[in-house]
């Protein structure tokens, strides 16, 4: 019987929320979604503002990114728990790479120490437009990857590379925020005099160019004599206090699922306390006064009230398209890895189906819509998604709840943040990075795989000493080289018979497996293609020499076990044909065992089955051994055979 579909079913294919909203149980699920959405909003408001500054954008852009894309993703995404919004690593990538791109169009442009009160308003406006254009390109790429199912490219990035990159980036982000804890903002320019030209400013901002986003330069700048003179003990004490409070609340939240709300409200608590202390004691510095004053603390200042403005008109014309597309590709690669891995893990934990294609399309459309309303790139957040899961979100209604909460903040509550100290923003980012520094994973890799440990360490060092952009490219290239290396040098094994069975296993792995006298049994453990046929050929020749040198008699035949070989290309076919001809010229018989259906079809179309002989293609290795022993007199397992202390039987009894 043919299934019938209603118009609503067809509409749900384009708008997935229509499917689950029909099954939504308000009495059972709404309370959990309200609590989860409110908890995430409490976390994302201070985080979003802080991450926007990290990206070099006005703070309200972080709030916009926690509003528009969230509402769109909740309608299109398939994950019940993925919390979308600004994230630290993406913000750092943009803040590191985008200034150099903008500087090519705006001569003299420099990363603004305070994007909310820029020294170069025209340059900051150009920077904001460039960030929106990158978000638009990233959204298009996201959507294309989902629609055309190109996500498999991300599989080439190994876990060790990504974990290493995240650890290196988190460390670097933490160092960039230490200037807020030290109270650094501006320092006098020694080159300035009342008669200086207009382009010589009276105060120099703390350096944050592309070259400064490296561990060595960050440490050098933080502890240089000219900046240590600007150290403010009030900011330092307050900043450390906020970090300690955040980490303590995070630790309490981890102890029990019932106390997870303590972790969620940590950033909001610090925001409220820091504003109360700063405003109550009147510690805030005058935003217009850049002169050094150890008795005040730098504050956020004015955050515009109201909903985001339309920025579709910012998409075009787009200068430096190639540079921005390259940055969008880097951002997209990291965002896809982060979002899809989080969504899959939470879907598996909560036992529901997740569509990777729908996830990528949902995130892509969310970013395109975000770029239409003053949002830079957004993706799934580890910390906020964990809150959604721990509180018990039942659906993406929780996402809508969080988005509405941020909208209310934008409409009515932004004046409250005027007195929020910058040291509190730095503390919020630093505390959020603790989970990204994967020391346990580093130790685990040392125990499990020294090669993966070396890759992890190399990725960390690449970010530390090359900067985020170079470090990310280095990590991706390293991952691809590793994948190519493993593909180009496939594992091969010499097989032997387990005593009393017809099972053949790797003689190096199974000590009891004995080689069959007069036969060389070899298994290839990977697809055969142009990049790895030469190493396989070398391995076969080496095994022939070793078998002859072992004293078990001359090798009469070779059996190649193709059971793990899932595919062969034209180069592999030519290699197998050449090996068969060469082996027969050396007086060796050759047989193939257990090729898959697809591989057998390719070999047949190439005529290789006729070259080998259809009577030399077998279903099992044991069948090949029986047939070769019956076709030619081979040594038996006696004095020179399997060394089991007795003669091995021949024929069918041999296996």
- SS3 (DSSP) at 555: coil
DSSP 8-state code for residue 410 = I
- Structural tokens at position 550: 């072992």
Q: Report the distance separating Cα 206 and Cα 213, nearest Å.
A: 12
Contact 430, 85 (CB under 8 A): no
Contact 32, 394 (CB under 8 A): yes
Can you give the three-state secondary structure of 482-546, one letter per residue?
Answer: HHHHHHHCCCEEEEEECCCCCCEEECCCCCCCECCCCEEEEEECCCECCCCHHHHHHHHHHHHHH
Q: Report the distance separating Cα 183 and Cα 299, nearest Å.
A: 10
How many other β-carbons are positioned within 10 Å of the β-carbon of residue 488? 15
CB-based burial of residue 119 (10 Å sphere; 0-12 exposed, 13-18 middle, 19+ buried)?
middle
- Structural tokens at position 162: 């990504």
pLDDT reported for residue 274: 93
Burial pattern 387-422, b for ≥16 Cβ within 10 A else e, equals: bbbbbbbbbbbbbbbbbbbbbebbeeebeebbbbbb
pLDDT reported for residue 641: 39
Contact 414, 303 (CB under 8 A): yes
pLDDT reported for residue 5: 56
- SS3 (DSSP) at 561: strand
pLDDT reported for residue 55: 92
How many other β-carbons are positioned within 10 Å of the β-carbon of residue 120? 15
Burial pattern 533-555, b for ≥16 Cβ within 10 A else e, equals: beebeebbeebbeebeeeebeeb
Domains and CATH numbers, the chain: 7-480 (no CATH), 490-654 (3.30.750.24)
Contact 567, 533 (CB under 8 A): no
> What is the chain's length?
655
pLDDT reported for residue 646: 36
- Closest to 39 measured CA to CA, from 347, 378, 386: 386
Residues paired with 299 in a beta bridge? 421
Instruction: Compute CA distances 213 → 132, 206, 437, whole Å.
Output: 22, 12, 17
**Predicted structure pTM score:** 0.75
pLDDT reported for residue 640: 35
Segment-wise mean pLDDT, segments of 10 residues, the chain, 655 residues: 57 72 84 87 87 91 95 89 90 89 86 81 93 96 86 70 83 87 86 80 76 81 90 92 92 81 83 91 76 77 90 94 93 82 78 81 93 94 82 86 94 89 88 83 90 88 83 78 82 91 90 89 92 91 82 78 92 92 90 92 90 90 88 52 37 30
**H-state helical runs in 155-265:** 159-182, 215-222, 225-228, 233-255, 260-264
DSSP 8-state code for residue 412 = I
Instruction: Say what angle helices 321-350 and 356-371 make with each other, to 10 degrees.
Output: 130
């Amino acid at each position: 019987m043919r299934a019938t579909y209603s118009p609503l079913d067809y509409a749900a294919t384009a708008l997935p929320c229509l499917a689950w909203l029909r099954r939504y149980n308000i009495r059972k699920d709404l309370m959990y979604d309200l609590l989860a959405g409110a908890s995430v909003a409490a976390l994302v408001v201070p985080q979003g503002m802080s991450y926007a500054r990290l990206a070099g954008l006005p703070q309200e852009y972080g709030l916009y990114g926690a509003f528009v894309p969230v509402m769109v993703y909740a309608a299109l995404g398939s994950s019940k728990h993925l919390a979308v919004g600004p994230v630290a690593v993406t913000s750092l990538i943009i803040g590191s790479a985008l200034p150099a791109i903008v500087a090519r169009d705006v001569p003299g442009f420099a990363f603004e120490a305070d994007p909310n009160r820029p020294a170069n308003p025209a340059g900051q406006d150009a920077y904001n437009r460039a960030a929106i254009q990158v978000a638009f390109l990233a959204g298009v790429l996201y959507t294309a990857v989902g629609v055309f199912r190109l996500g498999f490219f991300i599989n080439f990035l190994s876990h060790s590379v990504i974990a290493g990159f995240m650890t290196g980036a988190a460390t670097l982000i933490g160092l960039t925020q230490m200037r807020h804890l030290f109270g650094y903002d501006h320092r006098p320019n020694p080159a300035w005099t009342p008669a200086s030209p207009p382009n010589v400013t009276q105060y120099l901002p703390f350096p944050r160019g592309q070259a400064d986003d490296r561990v060595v330069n960050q440490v050098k700048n933080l502890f240089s004599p000219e900046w240590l003179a600007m150290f403010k003990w009030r900011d330092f004490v307050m900043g450390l206090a906020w970090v300690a409070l955040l980490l303590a609340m995070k630790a309490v939240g981890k102890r029990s699922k019932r106390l997870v709300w303590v972790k969620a409200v940590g950033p909001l608590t610090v925001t409220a306390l820091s504003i109360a202390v700063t405003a109550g004691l009147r510690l805030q510095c005058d935003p217009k006064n850049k002169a050094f004053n150890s008795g005040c603390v730098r504050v956020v200042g004015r955050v515009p009230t109201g909903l985001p403005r339309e920025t579709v008109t910012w998409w075009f014309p787009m200068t430096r398209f190639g540079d921005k597309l390259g940055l969008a590709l880097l951002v997209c690669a990291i965002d896809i890895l982060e979002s899809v891995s989080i969504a899959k893990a939470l879907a598996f934990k909560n036992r529901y189906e997740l569509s990777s294609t729908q996830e990528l399309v949902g995130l892509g459309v969310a970013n395109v819509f975000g770029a239409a309303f003053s949002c830079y790139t957004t993706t799934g957040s580890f910390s906020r998604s964990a809150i959604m899961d721990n509180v018990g979100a039942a659906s993406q209604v929780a996402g809508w709840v969080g988005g509405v909460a941020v909208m209310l903040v934008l409409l009515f509550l932004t004046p409250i943040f005027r007195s929020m100290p910058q040291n509190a923003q730095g503390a919020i980012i630093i505390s959020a990075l603790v989970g990204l520094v994967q020391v346990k994973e580093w130790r685990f890799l040392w125990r499990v795989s020294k090669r993966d440990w070396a890759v992890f360490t190399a990725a960390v060092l690449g970010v530390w000493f090359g900067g985020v952009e170079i470090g990310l490219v280095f990590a991706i290239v390293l991952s691809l080289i590793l994948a190519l290396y493993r593909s180009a040098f496939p594992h091969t094994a010499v097989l032997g018979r387990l005593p009393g069975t017809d099972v053949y296993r790797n003689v190096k792995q199974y000590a009891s497996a004995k080689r069959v006298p007069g036969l060389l049994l070899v298994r290839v453990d990977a697809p055969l293609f142009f990049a790895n046929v030469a190493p396989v050929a070398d391995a076969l020749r080496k095994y022939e020499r070793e078998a002859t040198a072992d004293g078990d008699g001359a090798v009469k035949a070779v059996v190649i076990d193709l059971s793990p070989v899932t595919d062969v290309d034209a180069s592999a076919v030519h290699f197998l044909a050449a090996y068969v001809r060469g082996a027969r010229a050396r007086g060796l018989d050759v047989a193939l065992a257990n090729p898959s259906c697809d591989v057998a079809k390719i070999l047949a179309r190439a005529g290789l089955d006729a070259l080998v002989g259809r009577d030399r293609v077998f279903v099992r290795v044991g069948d090949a051994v029986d047939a070769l022993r019956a076709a030619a007199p081979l040594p038996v397992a006696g004095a020179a055979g399997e060394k089991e202390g007795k003669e091995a039987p021949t024929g069918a009894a041999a296996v």
